[in-house]
């Protein structure tokens, strides 16, 4: 009954998502579509959490992949805020108004200014004259909400009119961290930056540094609480280090408004000065986060990164109820040691261990027992850390011998490459992930299984593509890699390494388990795998694309492989990111961008074609060089009609959706809506319907539709996430599409809005 009720609530929530998306979409001129996030939720970089002081179930989280999220039920369900309304900021915590439950302030993007919502986060508009690059937090004085402090442009700013106008504060220097408004000394405010703590006694007009007793060096975190009973208590954390054989640094407190500071590295803290084992988060115990409240300033929480894996060396959230005289660890998520007080997610459940991370912590100002913690996961506690509940997913009740299944709760922060519906079992759906590798559903995408530890591919980070045997149910090949984000900017710019391993794996049990192909195939990031349906059953011809090694061919079901690179690209740039076999036998391979010394090179980049099963290759787009192609599509009815999505490479003439109708002799740009187009996808049931996607640096909609073969286009603005990648189609339902995204998981939605 509980599960049935849960599914009903999810259906209602999905409806609310659609209604909210339609409100947001109307602001950009769209109709009212219904879009639903599916797949595994959580498991991506989350930052800048916030909790409403009026309604503790109202929360916000920001993701490092461009989206911000809001929950109204304490983290059980989340709604992605439409990209046209608010973009993420991972470095500035939003602020809920202390008196108006509907008003929220937030930074609009990493470089954007301040925005305000007066309808609980549905719509947002710019406010005030703050510069961009908001950092630290937006702070509102709970006793006089017209007074605010914020960090922007590396400086501290104040507002005396609820954010309408802002004045830069002279005095505080360094990157702003956080603030405190003294509740028993009106006009006394505190501002902390990485360079120190400053105090103002005239409402932010003048400031003086207050660092007596603090060690020289950086400030990591600051928090303050004040009330008539306990006075004003301030806390800071500084880097821990070994000095004269002792631990110094850590956590400090001031009881005299910053005039003096004392160490409060009390009993119960991890104060180790060397690693306990080979997996420390830090070699010396560090405390990078600290939070408290005005309600109970003597109750304070600090995050310790940990010097090992098992307790008491593990990363934890420490609580003190005596202002730091003594501490106790409150967060133990690894099932290998007891007591464990943290609900397991699908990773911990499958792997039998917790992978430690450095979370971001926030506390409810009116309920010091309630915290929200985010990193690659999200957790809440309502009992001061006695127990912690998942806030990024929920497990479906199941028998012990059954696969563990998980419900998407809307906090979708993962990158996805392809979405598949099994050709033999339409109830089986599959997702190719970055960072999560792979997931499958056996109930048409309602619930999801993350792959089991036993039988998992040896390259666990990314699955780029699947290829299904045309005759044998459950048999498929996958392209796996420990290099993610190919061919997006992290790889092309060199910010992420691209020399990791990968390969092709085979499954014969509907993707429950995988085994790796070995002989002749290099252990290299593998981005593509295709099967020739005309080849004999049991000895299928397969083609694999590898990032740096080119194209490989197997004629024995993937048991042995041979390089097929004659005429393909150049020896210095065999960075193949996609391979397609047309139904007329023509083989295509795309080699993406190469940068040397920050400059794009023409060496080997482009779309290549083979008419002899990979023995020889010729460049298709010689007449229209593209230095950063991302994806391509060949018309199933005519291999001379080809679409390439490309990004700008050094100038703005490259990016766009390019098409040839004569096999590559001539090319035309049929759409340019941003600097980084990704690809084009042709609806199999609606001739002339073309979907175009944009990813990264997208100024507006990430999904566009033409219903007249590219003559005119309309934005599909109901999709709330801006960074779209590929579009997949449901063979049984031509009115439904699935959109993979760069950081927003999968969205199921209407084929037209």
Q: How far apart are CA 148 and CA 127, in angstroms?
A: 13
Non-local (6+) Cβ contacts of 191 within 8 A are 149, 156, 169, 172, 176, 179, 197, 198, 200, 207
**Domain match, 424 and 390 both:** no
Q: Collect the ranges in the chain with pLDDT lower than 70.
A: 1-33
Q: What pLDDT sits at residue 4?
A: 39
Joined together, the tokens standing for residue 463 give 């699955």
**Domain match, 165 and 295 both:** yes
Contact at 8 Å (CB) between 469 and 476?
yes
Whether 389 is in a domain gets the answer yes
Whether 52 is in a domain gets the answer yes
User: By residue range, what is the domain housing residue 69?
Assistant: 39-396
**Per-residue model confidence as pLDDT tens digits over 398-444:** 888 888 999 999 999 999 999 999 999 999 999 999 999 999 999 99
Number of structural domains, the chain? 2
**Domain match, 213 and 78 both:** yes
Q: Pick from 675, 709, 726: which residue ends a domain?
A: 675
Whether 314 is in a domain gets the answer yes
**Domain match, 223 and 358 both:** yes
Q: Pick from 675, 703, 721: which residue ends a domain?
A: 675
**Domain match, 476 and 388 both:** no
Q: What pLDDT sits at residue 661?
A: 98
Whether 730 is in a domain gets the answer no
Q: How far apart are CA 609 and CA 123, in angstroms?
A: 48
**Domain match, 204 and 320 both:** yes
Q: What pLDDT sits at residue 14?
A: 38
**Domain match, 97 and 204 both:** yes
Looking at residue 304, which CATH number applies to its domain? Answer: 2.130.10.10
Whether 439 is in a domain gets the answer yes
Q: State the number of CA atoms in the 13 A half-sphere of 726 facing the CB.
A: 18
Whether 646 is in a domain gets the answer yes
**Domain match, 499 and 370 both:** no
CA distances from 15 to 40, 72, 413 (A): 19, 15, 20
**Domain match, 260 and 389 both:** yes
Q: What pLDDT sits at residue 699?
A: 81
CA distances from 733 to 18, 77, 686, 718 (A): 19, 27, 12, 19
Count of other CB atoms within 10 angstroms of residue 139: 23
Q: How far apart are CA 104 and CA 125, in angstroms?
A: 11
Whether 750 is in a domain gets the answer no
**Domain match, 179 and 311 both:** yes
Q: What pLDDT sits at residue 443?
A: 97
**Domain match, 441 and 391 both:** no
Burial per residue of 235-269, b for 16 or more beta-carbon CB atoms within 10 angstroms, e otherwise: bbbbbbeeeeeebbbbbbbbbebbeebebbbbeeb
Contact at 8 Å (CB) between 6 and 14?
no
Residue percentage of the chain with pLDDT more than 90: 91
**Domain match, 294 and 435 both:** no
Q: Pick from 628, 650, 675: which residue ends a domain?
A: 675
Whether 152 is in a domain gets the answer yes
Strands (E), 622-706: 629-634, 642-646, 656-660, 668-671, 677-682, 690-694, 703-706
């Amino acid at each position: 009954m509980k599960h049935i009720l849960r599914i009903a609530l999810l259906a209602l929530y999905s409806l609310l998502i659609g209604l909210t998306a339609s409100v947001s979409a109307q602001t950009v001129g769209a109709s009212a579509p219904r879009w639903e996030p599916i797949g595994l939720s959580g498991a991506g970089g989350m930052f800048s959490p916030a909790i409403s002081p009026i309604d503790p179930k109202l929360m916000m989280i920001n993701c490092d992949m461009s989206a911000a999220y809001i929950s109204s039920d304490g983290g059980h369900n989340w709604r992605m805020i439409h990209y046209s309304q608010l973009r993420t900021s991972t470095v500035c915590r939003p602020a809920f108004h202390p008196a108006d439950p509907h008003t929220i302030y937030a930074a609009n993007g990493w470089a954007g200014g301040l925005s305000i919502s007066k309808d609980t986060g549905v719509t947002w508009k710019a406010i005030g004259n703050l510069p961009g690059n908001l950092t630290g937090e937006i702070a509102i004085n709970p006793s006089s909400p017209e007074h605010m402090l914020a960090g922007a442009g590396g400086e501290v700013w104040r507002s005396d009119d609820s954010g309408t106008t802002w004045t830069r504060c002279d005095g505080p220097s360094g990157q702003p961290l956080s603030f405190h408004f003294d509740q028993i000394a009106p006009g006394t405010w505190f501002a902390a930056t990485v360079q120190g703590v400053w105090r103002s006694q005239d409402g932010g007009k003048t400031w003086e540094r207050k660092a007596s007793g603090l060690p020289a060096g950086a400030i990591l975190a600051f928090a303050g609480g004040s009330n008539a009973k306990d006075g004003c208590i301030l806390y800071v954390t500084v880097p821990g280090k070994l000095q004269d054989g002792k631990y110094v640094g850590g956590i400090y407190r001031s009881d005299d408004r910053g005039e003096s500071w004392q160490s409060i590295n009390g009993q119960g803290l991890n104060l180790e000065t060397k690693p306990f084992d080979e997996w420390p988060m830090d070699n010396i115990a560090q405390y990078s986060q600290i939070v408290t409240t005005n309600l109970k300033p003597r109750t304070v929480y600090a995050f310790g990164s940990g010097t090992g894996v098992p307790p008491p060396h593990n990363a934890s959230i420490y609580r003190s109820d005596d202002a730091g005289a003594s501490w106790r660890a409150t967060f133990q998520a690894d099932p290998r040691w007891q007591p464990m007080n943290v609900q397991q997610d699908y990773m911990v459940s499958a792997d039998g261990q917790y992978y430690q991370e450095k979370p971001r912590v926030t506390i409810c100002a009116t309920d010091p027992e309630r915290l929200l913690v985010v990193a690659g996961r999200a957790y809440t506690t309502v009992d001061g850390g006695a127990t912690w509940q998942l806030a990024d997913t929920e497990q479906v009740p199941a028998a012990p011998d059954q696969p563990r299944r998980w419900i998407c709760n809307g906090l979708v922060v993962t990158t996805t490459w392809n979405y598949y519906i099994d050709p033999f079992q339409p109830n089986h759906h599959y997702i190719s992930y970055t960072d999560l590798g792979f997931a499958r559903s056996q109930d048409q995408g309602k619930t999801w299984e993350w792959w089991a530890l036993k039988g998992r591919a040896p390259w666990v980070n990314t699955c780029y593509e699947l290829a299904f045997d045309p005759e044998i149910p459950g048999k498929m090949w996958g392209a796996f890699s420990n290099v993610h984000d190919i061919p997006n900017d992290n790889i092309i710019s060199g910010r992420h390494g691209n020399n990791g391993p990968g390969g092709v794996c085979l499954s014969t049990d509907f993707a429950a388990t995988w085994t790796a192909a070995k002989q002749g195939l290099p252990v290299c990031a593998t981005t593509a795998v295709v099967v020739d349906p005309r080849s004999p059953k049991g000895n299928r011809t397969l083609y694999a694309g590898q990032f740096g090694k080119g194209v490989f061919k197997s004629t024995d079901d993937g048991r042995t492989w041979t390089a097929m690179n004659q005429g393909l690209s150049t020896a210095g740039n065999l960075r193949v990111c996609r391979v397609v076999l047309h139904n007329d036998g023509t083989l295509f391979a795309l080699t993406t961008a190469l940068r040397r010394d920050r400059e794009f090179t023409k060496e080997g980049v482009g779309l290549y074609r083979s008419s002899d099963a990979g023995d020889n290759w010729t460049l298709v787009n010689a007449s229209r060089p593209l230095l950063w192609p991302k994806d391509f599509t060949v018309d199933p009815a005519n291999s001379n009609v080809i679409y390439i999505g490309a990004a700008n490479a050094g100038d703005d003439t490259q990016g766009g959706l390019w098409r040839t109708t004569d096999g590559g002799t001539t090319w035309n740009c049929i759409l340019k809506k941003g600097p980084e187009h990704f690809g084009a996808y042709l609806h199999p049931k609606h001739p002339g319907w073309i979907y175009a996607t944009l990813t990264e640096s997208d100024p507006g909609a990430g999904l566009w539709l033409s219903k007249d073969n590219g003559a005119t286009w309309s934005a599909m603005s109901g999709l709330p996430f801006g960074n779209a990648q590929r579009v997949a189609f449901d063979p049984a339902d031509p009115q439904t599409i699935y959109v993979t995204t760069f950081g927003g998981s999968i969205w199921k939605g209407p084929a037209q809005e």
